Amino acid sequence: MRFTDFMMNFPFLIFVIVLQAIFVDSGVLALILVISLLSWTEAARVIRSKVMSERENEYVLSAVSIGTKPSKVMIKHILPNVISTTIVQATLLLAAMIVAETGLSYLGFGVPVGTPSWGNMLQAARDPGTFENLWWVWLPPGLLITLTILSINLSVKGLKMLLTQKQRNNSLSQSFINDRTLVFSKDKKVNFIALG
């Protein structure tokens, strides 16, 4: 986690601008690599904190105490409870990186000028004459950026609610099974007997 803290010390946009200025003729692939190398830190901290909190739950401690292999504990107990946080963080990161690419392209440090990009389209409207008289040049990309980010954020909110509800339902059914004892009868039916 020390390396993550070290990477978080760098201001994201300034560092991306410096690296893009160094690799000026590298194109879209270098921009993707630079943004990818610098944007993972916040998601890593959130996911790590979720894993650390899940690690302290009773079912994980029980699995460890009976001698379950650490890899099996991670795959069976921790990963299913962390996957919802990971998916939410990944989609929020997608929205943030769309805004970052657009901003960098608008400033001239992103996608090369000949490549179509919302940031390059907005850059064409920096001239006051274009901004005042040719609204069709800058309005569609601006609206599409806004609608894309809004739709991603709303879908993340819905996904978060869905995954939280699913996780809550799983924990309720797990507690129901923990409060009862399974008894198999001769006709192979499962009966639940309350433990008092």
Q: How far apart are CA 111 and CA 42, in angstroms?
A: 24
Look at the chain and report how many structural domains it folds into: 1
pLDDT band at residue 118 using 50, 70 and 90 as cut-offs = confident
pLDDT band at residue 184 using 50, 70 and 90 as cut-offs = very low
Lowest-pLDDT choice from 8-22, 35-49, 58-72: 8-22
Indicate if the pLDDT at residue 154 is higher than 80.
yes
Between 105 and 174, the more confident residue is: 105
**Torsions phi, psi for 140 (to 5 deg):** -60, -45
Q: How far apart are CA 120 and CA 105, in angstroms?
A: 6
Are 144 and 118 within 8 A, CB to CB?
Answer: yes
pLDDT attached to residue 170: 61
Between 153 and 27, the more confident residue is: 153
pLDDT band at residue 168 using 50, 70 and 90 as cut-offs = low
pLDDT band at residue 169 using 50, 70 and 90 as cut-offs = low
DSSP 8-state secondary structure symbol assigned to residue 24: T
Assigned token pair, 86: 């990971």
The SS3 of residue 90 is: helix
- Give the CATH number of the domain where residue 34 resides: 1.10.3720.10
Q: How far apart are CA 116 and CA 94, in angstroms?
A: 19
The residues facing 193 across adjacent strands are: 181
Indicate the helix (H) or strand (E) that contains 149: helix 135-178
pLDDT band at residue 194 using 50, 70 and 90 as cut-offs = very low
Q: How far apart are CA 159 and CA 1, in angstroms?
A: 28
The residues facing 190 across adjacent strands are: 184
Are 139 and 131 within 8 A, CB to CB?
Answer: no
pLDDT attached to residue 196: 42
Q: How many CA atoms lie within 13 A of 113 on its CB side?
A: 5
**Domain containing residue 32:** 2-194
Can you point out the beta strands (E) in 17-103?
none
